A and B are shown apart, each in its own frame.
Chain A
Amino acid sequence: MNNQKENTASACSSTTQKPTSSSLQTDILSYLSTHDELNTWTYANEHKIDHQLVIGTIRSIQSIGDIIKIEQHTNRSIAPSDEGKLLLQNGSYEYNLFQAIPADKGIEQPELMKFPNATIGFAKAMSSGWLQVDKSSKPAIVKRKVENVHDEVQNLLKRIQSLELQDASVKEVVELKKRKLVEDVIVNYFIVTKSSEFSTNIAKGEAELTAEMLQTGSWKTLNFKQYNFNAKGMMPSHGCLHPLLKVRTEYRQIFLEMGFTEMPTNNYVENSFWNFDALFTPQKHPARDVQDTFFLSDPAVTTTFPEDYLEKIKKVHSTGAFGSIGYQYEWAREEAQKNVFRTHTTAVSTRMLYKLAQEKIFKPVKYFSIDKVFRNENLDATHLAEFHQIEGLVADYNLTLGDLIGILYEFFRKLGMTKLRFKPAYNPYTEPSMEIFSYHEGLQRWIEVGNSGMFRPEMLLPMGFSEDISVIAWGLSLERPTMILYGIDNIRDLIGPKVDLEMCRQNPICRVIPAKIEE
């Protein structure tokens, strides 16, 4: 049994003591200090160490710092098959059969053939000339022909297992392959070389500088372990702002830099009068349809209005006034009373302009706002029922369409866009109206980036402004440029409860870079 046990142990550990990882580390480093390179396969074989142990040690050295470089290689070799491994443990069939025959008197052949794998063992032993068969008696008696035999098959397998024999072309090996006791295998091994921080003295050293070392001064004489600068650091615990609102901050900053004053837009519910009628949007306009706008059931209507202003609005819609022929329909107060979730922040601009028109002395203004608006839309990847509208306006004497184009160039330059073009458009409360297109270098095409126009006299004159005051204005959504900026296709990935918090936490600093000033 003792013999057998020794045979079962692996070829390596049976011949050497299993080294500890740290002693092997030292061995490998000192080997490298005198050699240009180390082949893990050869090294394991030469030192009769398990190859996986060498690789593990190499990896642990590598994790310490930039001490060694490794490069993976593969090689073809041979190894005992599963059956071969059994023979390696238990001896060959023919050897065991031979041992089973009593040295003196032999054994009856049928008895002998009851041994495991006797057929192969008998054939091999016979061809090796180990046995003789006495057929004179019935049944025939099998006797030893030689006194002693060596288990050559097991020896060969041991040599293959221990990598002493790797040449697949050797005659005996070819024989074993025919018997399917040996097979081809692929070996992965590494070539190890020194790297920039190579040292044989790495394992020892203090992990960290401690308060105690500082007090005792022991740090002066101690060695310290290398830090691994290839690993990532520990993320500090942090909060963060929402990606869309970071873009909002940039836009807000741009308006402030341009001298605009922020309008109070904290009134999401508005009545139709201020949201539509005051903006010369006729009462049968599709935007006022229940399909497009959220109407309120509670509180359903507004009852107080500036009545003289309301009368002027009624007139300009129904019969015309202020140089306009109007829409020529019966304007209904009930329609104007209906409360809605505001469909644009222009409702706020309208209130602000009305307030401005009531001042005794007109002072030019620049106003802006960025806040939520609501549409009863069918939701899809780019439309939500609520989104942020960005709006800017300038009210002054004798502003021109050229002024509007000029200030849009300035505004969009601050957003990094310099190639603009303008398309005539229709909007009930602006005339002229222009859609703003910008050439997007990344997308390689013109994209619509906003809407703009000069407020209609039908909107301004009823407020009480004199005819020489014009208002130029523009608007865009916050979501669309943000989606383009971040490369987000589905708006739900940006706004609402389905936003991935990890995306928010990984979102970089938002810095909209202005283009250089045109000469």
Chain B
Amino acid sequence: MPTIGVKRSLLFNALGQEFTDEEFDQLCFDYGIELDKIEPIPESKGKDVEYKIDIPANRYDMLCLEGISRALKIFLQKDELPKFHLSKFNENQKPIRMKILPNTQRIRPIVVCAVLRNVTFNAESYNSFIELQDKLHQNLCRNRTLVAIGTHDLDTIQPPFIYDAQQPKQIKFRSLKQQNEMQADEMLEFYSKDSHLKRYVSIIQDSDVYPVIYDSNNVVLSLPPIINGDHSKMSVNTKNVFIECTAVDLHKANVVLNIILTMFAQYCSKPFEIEPVEVEQVDGTVILYPNLNDRTENVSVKKMNQRIGIQVDVETAATLLNRMSLRTEILDSDTLRVNIPVTRSDILHFCDIVEDCAIAYGFNNINKTVPKTSCIGNQFELNRVSDLIRHSVAESGFTEALTFTLCSCADVAEKFGKNIENIPAVHIANPKTQDFQIGRTSLLPGLLKTIANNQGTALPIQLFEVSDVILKDLTREIGSRNERRLCAVYYNRSPGFEIIHGLLDRIMTLVKISYNDTKSNDIGYYLNNQCEDSAFFPGRHAEIIVRGEKRGTIGVLHPNVIEQFGLKLPCSVIELNIEPFV
């Protein structure tokens, strides 16, 4: 979730109220944001601190001081939600126009725009304006892949504007804070070395055309989603702000535009008045942005009460919702009309309105009830059998280990003298470390690594694990399945095969499978040594055949394996599929 840093003095000033840190923390808790940290501001000489506030990932309207203070003030019933509206044009005025050219459809097809007129920034609010764009870029805009924001000093550029996509060599301009003009392809090369901007370069680099916005004098406003032109750059003194959001997702572009507008229109000479911009689409249609209309939803207070488990009347419910920035009118004794402002893009369904009602009521004020649902509990049989076997193996003197499900290819292949191609493992496409390339196909590597890390322990070391391995199996819906296994190892100055062998016999006694000395038909269990496996010392290894099917292996590890795992002593092992015992 995003974390927003705000100065305490500015926040309390905006809230029109002082709080102790504990009081403010409680307020955050009740609202569902979190006062994560309080950091000193050295310049303030102890007079001020910075609050680091965690904001839920879907509350884009609270990603800046303006939004946090507005929401909390309304929650505390010290303010009402402002009415966002579009400015009106008289007859000889026309909205600014942005024209989309066809080439953009191949790379970044959407642009939406608007203007904030006669804004008065100060250092703090200007900083907040920049920070909000950063936060939106990181979160809702998914690192500018979905939406990229460009903000410009409108007084330096001449509408109408053109949104085009051109070949990199055709685009040449001086980008933000640079001394010289660069061609767009050089520019991307340049920014691929920039610590902050390099992560955006790949969004367009491989395209044959790059998105670009020009004014009517051919001045470049921006090369979305990478960088703005230096010509139209803003400062704290900028009065008229032109905002463009280029995007691949229209819904998100609108949300981003609306958030910036509704947050900062409070600094306009006519607060909360926004000047719209006409965007001419490729097919010639013209759409006016932004769309600031509320969405309305009629809700039943009875249903709301039912879902929360409270009993509030229609007036109380309306008050509760108003406190959550949802302007609510009473229609009749059970029905509310809830106006969902553009700032609350998180409200998708009746259940979101219910949640806001519950938050305003106070989660911790809700009367707790125990569901009357009556059910008989049941265990998952495989887990029950696993637990019984775990206890039996521990009773036999073995210590239980708990090792990782993910491992490297080498852990199941090379270290056992095998080729990963021949092992039915599921492979991870995007591992962060080479330790996690595949799902384990055997429990053995984990146990051997555990011994390697515990070589100072008194001998013999007897370890076991009952857990799942993952096998590629194309007969299954997902193409893989888990298999529950028992693996046990005995590590000492001599291999102690008879002890591991004894453990097998003990387990078989416990699951009532008898030894089949004829080795001929499909009953009981026996060992088949007519097999080869590079993991084992030649001649000291067998397959475990249970009811006619191979269910496991038993034997003395090959000295190469011992060495590969950094071990020094002989070791005998058993690994057995226990699913047939369920």
Q: Which of A20-28, A139-147, A200-208, A500-508 contacts B (4 or more CB under 8 A)?
A: A500-508
User: How far is A341 from B461 in the complex, measured between Cα atoms in Å?
Assistant: 32
Supposing A401-B358, A501-B454 touch, asked if A325 and B349 sit within 8 A by C-beta, the answer is yes
Quick one: CB contact mask for A317-337 with B, threshold 8 Å, 1 for yes?
Answer: 000101111111100000000
What bracket does the count of chain B residues touching chain A fall in? Answer: 35 or more
Q: Are A504 and B472 in contact (CB under 8 A)?
A: no
Cβ–Cβ < 8 Å partners of B450 in chain A = 497, 499, 501
Q: Are A268 and B402 in contact (CB under 8 A)?
A: no
User: How far is A432 from B357 in the complex, measured between Cα atoms in Å?
Assistant: 10
Quick one: CB contact mask for A412-434 with B, threshold 8 Å, 1 for yes?
Answer: 00000000011111100001111
The reply to whether the CB of A68 lies closer than 8 angstroms to some CB of chain B is no
The reply to whether the CB of A264 lies closer than 8 angstroms to some CB of chain B is yes
Q: Are B369 and A329 in contact (CB under 8 A)?
A: no
Q: Are A422 and B364 in contact (CB under 8 A)?
A: yes
Q: Are A267 and B403 in contact (CB under 8 A)?
A: no
Quick one: CB contact mask for B394-407 with A, threshold 8 Å, 1 for yes?
Answer: 11111111111110
Residue of A nearest to B471 (CB): A269
The reply to whether the CB of B142 lies closer than 8 angstroms to some CB of chain A is yes
Q: Which of A59-67, A77-85, A307-315, A370-378 contacts B (4 or more CB under 8 A)?
A: A370-378
Supposing A267-B481, A298-B427, A385-B406 touch, asked if A406 and B355 sit within 8 A by C-beta, the answer is no
Quick one: CB contact mask for A236-271 with B, threshold 8 Å, 1 for yes?
Answer: 011111101100010010011111111111111111
The reply to whether the CB of A92 lies closer than 8 angstroms to some CB of chain B is no
Cβ–Cβ < 8 Å partners of A424 in chain B = 30-32, 56, 355, 358-359, 363
The reply to whether the CB of A219 lies closer than 8 angstroms to some CB of chain B is no
The reply to whether the CB of B312 lies closer than 8 angstroms to some CB of chain A is no
Cβ–Cβ < 8 Å partners of A502 in chain B = 457
Residue of B nearest to A293 (CB): B430
The reply to whether the CB of A398 lies closer than 8 angstroms to some CB of chain B is yes
Quick one: CB contact mask for B367-404 with A, threshold 8 Å, 1 for yes?
Answer: 11111111111111011000100110111111111111
The residue from B57, B370, B396, B436 contacting A403, defined by CB atoms under 8 A apart: B370
Q: Are A364 and B400 in contact (CB under 8 A)?
A: no
The reply to whether the CB of B366 lies closer than 8 angstroms to some CB of chain A is yes
Quick one: CB contact mask for A455-479 with B, threshold 8 Å, 1 for yes?
Answer: 0111000000000001010000000
Separation in Å of the B278 CB from the closest CB of chain A? 22
User: How far is A286 from B142 in the complex, measured between Cα atoms in Å?
Assistant: 8
User: How far is A232 from B524 in the complex, measured between Cα atoms in Å?
Assistant: 46
The reply to whether the CB of A495 lies closer than 8 angstroms to some CB of chain B is yes
Separation in Å of the B271 CB from the closest CB of chain A? 29
Cβ–Cβ < 8 Å partners of B390 in chain A = 241, 245
Q: Which of A259, A270, A409 has the most CB of B within 10 A?
A: A259
Separation in Å of the B375 CB from the closest CB of chain A? 4
User: How far is A12 from B430 in the complex, measured between Cα atoms in Å?
Assistant: 82
Supposing A269-B470, A324-B349, A504-B400 touch, asked if A262 and B379 sit within 8 A by C-beta, the answer is yes
Cβ–Cβ < 8 Å partners of B454 in chain A = 500-501
User: How far is A266 from B368 in the complex, measured between Cα atoms in Å?
Assistant: 34
The reply to whether the CB of B462 lies closer than 8 angstroms to some CB of chain A is yes
Separation in Å of the B241 CB from the closest CB of chain A? 27
Quick one: CB contact mask for B216-255 with A, threshold 8 Å, 1 for yes?
Answer: 0000000000000000000000000000000001111000
Q: Which of B99-107, B261-269, B301-309, B327-335 contacts A (4 or more CB under 8 A)?
A: B301-309
Residue of B nearest to A502 (CB): B457
Cβ–Cβ < 8 Å partners of A406 in chain B = 368-371
Separation in Å of the B300 CB from the closest CB of chain A? 12
The reply to whether the CB of B294 lies closer than 8 angstroms to some CB of chain A is no
Report A190-237 residues with CB < 8 Å from chain B CB.
237
Cβ–Cβ < 8 Å partners of A405 in chain B = 363, 366, 368-369
Cβ–Cβ < 8 Å partners of A379 in chain B = 433
Q: Are A304 and B477 in contact (CB under 8 A)?
A: yes
The residue from A255, A263, A286, A376 contacting B430, defined by CB atoms under 8 A apart: A376
Q: Which of A286, A299, A304 has the most CB of B within 10 A?
A: A299
The residue from B1, B364, B400 contacting A240, defined by CB atoms under 8 A apart: B400
User: How far is A294 from B428 in the complex, measured between Cα atoms in Å?
Assistant: 6
Q: Are A401 and B308 in contact (CB under 8 A)?
A: yes
Q: Are A261 and B378 in contact (CB under 8 A)?
A: yes
Q: Are B405 and A299 in contact (CB under 8 A)?
A: no
The reply to whether the CB of B468 lies closer than 8 angstroms to some CB of chain A is yes
The reply to whether the CB of B122 lies closer than 8 angstroms to some CB of chain A is no
Q: Are A423 and B377 in contact (CB under 8 A)?
A: no
Report A347-390 residues with CB < 8 Å from chain B CB.
364-366, 372, 374, 376-379, 384-386
Supposing A262-B379, A497-B449 touch, asked if A400 and B349 sit within 8 A by C-beta, the answer is no
Supposing A242-B400, A457-B351 touch, asked if A258 and B436 sit within 8 A by C-beta, the answer is no
Separation in Å of the A341 CB from the closest CB of chain B? 7
Residue of B nearest to A372 (CB): B405
The reply to whether the CB of B47 lies closer than 8 angstroms to some CB of chain A is no
Q: Are B371 and A472 in contact (CB under 8 A)?
A: yes
Q: Are B401 and A499 in contact (CB under 8 A)?
A: yes
Quick one: CB contact mask for B331-373 with A, threshold 8 Å, 1 for yes?
Answer: 0000000000000001011111011001100011011111111
Q: Are B57 and A242 in contact (CB under 8 A)?
A: no
The reply to whether the CB of A185 lies closer than 8 angstroms to some CB of chain B is no
Q: Are B309 and A374 in contact (CB under 8 A)?
A: no
Residue of B nearest to A328 (CB): B251
The reply to whether the CB of B446 lies closer than 8 angstroms to some CB of chain A is yes
Q: Which of A326, A410, A423 has the most CB of B within 10 A?
A: A423
Cβ–Cβ < 8 Å partners of B481 in chain A = 267
The reply to whether the CB of A300 lies closer than 8 angstroms to some CB of chain B is yes
The reply to whether the CB of A5 lies closer than 8 angstroms to some CB of chain B is no
User: How far is A401 from B404 in the complex, measured between Cα atoms in Å?
Assistant: 37
The residue from B29, B404, B462, B484 contacting A496, defined by CB atoms under 8 A apart: B404
Supposing A269-B470, A323-B349, A400-B308 touch, asked if A296 and B371 sit within 8 A by C-beta, the answer is no
Q: Are B439 and A268 in contact (CB under 8 A)?
A: yes
User: How far is A264 from B457 in the complex, measured between Cα atoms in Å?
Assistant: 37
The residue from B351, B369, B402, B478 contacting A245, defined by CB atoms under 8 A apart: B402
The residue from B308, B397, B406, B478 contacting A267, defined by CB atoms under 8 A apart: B478
Q: Are A266 and B377 in contact (CB under 8 A)?
A: no
Cβ–Cβ < 8 Å partners of B352 in chain A = 431
Separation in Å of the B204 CB from the closest CB of chain A? 18
Report B54-112 residues with CB < 8 Å from chain A CB.
56-59
The reply to whether the CB of A297 lies closer than 8 angstroms to some CB of chain B is yes
Cβ–Cβ < 8 Å partners of B439 in chain A = 268-269, 341
Residue of A nearest to B391 (CB): A241
Q: Are A298 and B426 in contact (CB under 8 A)?
A: yes
The reply to whether the CB of A302 lies closer than 8 angstroms to some CB of chain B is yes
Separation in Å of the A440 CB from the closest CB of chain B? 16
Q: Are A259 and B374 in contact (CB under 8 A)?
A: yes
The residue from A402, A457, A498 contacting B309, defined by CB atoms under 8 A apart: A402
Q: Are B436 and A294 in contact (CB under 8 A)?
A: yes
The residue from A271, A284, A327, A494 contacting B478, defined by CB atoms under 8 A apart: A271
Supposing A239-B462, A458-B348 touch, asked if A378 and B432 sit within 8 A by C-beta, the answer is yes
Supposing A239-B395, A262-B378, A294-B430 touch, asked if A501 and B57 sit within 8 A by C-beta, the answer is no
User: How far is A304 from B479 in the complex, measured between Cα atoms in Å?
Assistant: 10
Cβ–Cβ < 8 Å partners of A498 in chain B = 453
14 contacts between A and B (CB under 8 A): A242-B402, A245-B390, A258-B377, A269-B478, A284-B249, A294-B406, A295-B430, A400-B307, A400-B308, A406-B368, A410-B370, A426-B59, A496-B402, A499-B453
Q: A259-B377, A376-B430, A456-B351 are in contact. List 16 more A-B contacts (CB 8 A).
A: A239-B397, A239-B399, A257-B377, A271-B478, A294-B431, A294-B436, A328-B250, A365-B375, A366-B373, A366-B375, A374-B405, A394-B373, A402-B310, A457-B349, A497-B403, A499-B453
B contact set with A: CB distance below 8 Å: 1, 29-32, 34, 56-59, 139, 142, 146, 249-252, 295, 306-310, 346, 348-352, 354-355, 358-359, 363-364, 366-380, 382-383, 387, 390-391, 393-406, 426-433, 436, 439, 446, 449-450, 452-454, 457, 461-464, 468, 470, 472, 474, 477-482, 484
Closest 9 CB pairs of A and B: A402-B309, A424-B32, A299-B479, A400-B309, A426-B56, A497-B449, A297-B429, A432-B355, A406-B368
